Structure 1
């Protein structure tokens, strides 16, 4: 997410497998690096003059049956603009990470859910 926060869109997309998928909290879905890059580029205007940082915590990592790693965590998004600081809604993120030939650890899938009262 540091790459996304720095608006390094291609670098962020490269942290996913070529066919990687993201299911967004609003129900939108992107598949593959090209689609991710296009979707992120379309959102760039709303980040003009805004510094964004994603903060992660309470990570749960477990090995899945196929050898991949399941990683679940909470995220809080802080944005600063014009000297002010605001926080976006909190989310729970579930990633599936896979080891590629050559050793790179890439995200195969990501599901983002907006936290609601009573959710764990």
Structure 2
């Protein structure tokens, strides 16, 4: 069975990669407000544990409660296998794998791998923003 997927330009692929590089550098630097600003005002995140945050204010409050656990570690998010699918409404459905590396007093640790599905939208000023994000912990395939 073959599937037709709209091709994206190299410029769009590079733009999306740059968007994620900037977004994740904000979260890794604990720039909570800057990270939240990469989402639409009503942006939504569904976390791997089933929790959900809606809107920038709720996102910022939830992230602030998690800050103490990141006080003594350096965190970097690594994305791979980025797949961009343009949708009929002009949004972009993006899926990718993510791995989180943390370095602290006890050395390097890798967090569980996740599969992430985002919907990005383009604002009237041309910026990309995340409208929704769904994060799922990677598990072995069912056989």
Q: What TM-score do the two structures reach when normalised by structure 2? A: 0.81
Q: What TM-score do the two structures reach when normalised by structure 1? A: 0.97
Higher helix share: 2
RMSD of aligned C-alpha atoms? 0.9
In structure 1, list runs of 5 or more residues that go unmatched: none
In structure 2, list runs of 5 or more residues that go unmatched: 1-23
Higher strand share: 1
Aligned residues: 119
The structure whose RCO (Cα within 8 Å, separation 6+) is larger is 1
19, 22, 29: which is aligned to 1:6? 29
Q: CA deviation at 1:15?
A: 0.2
Partner SS state of residue 80, structure 2 = strand
Q: Distance in 2 between matches of 1:66 and 1:23?
A: 22
Runs of 4+ in 1 over 6 A off after TM superposition: none
Q: Distance in 2 between matches of 1:93 and 1:2?
A: 17
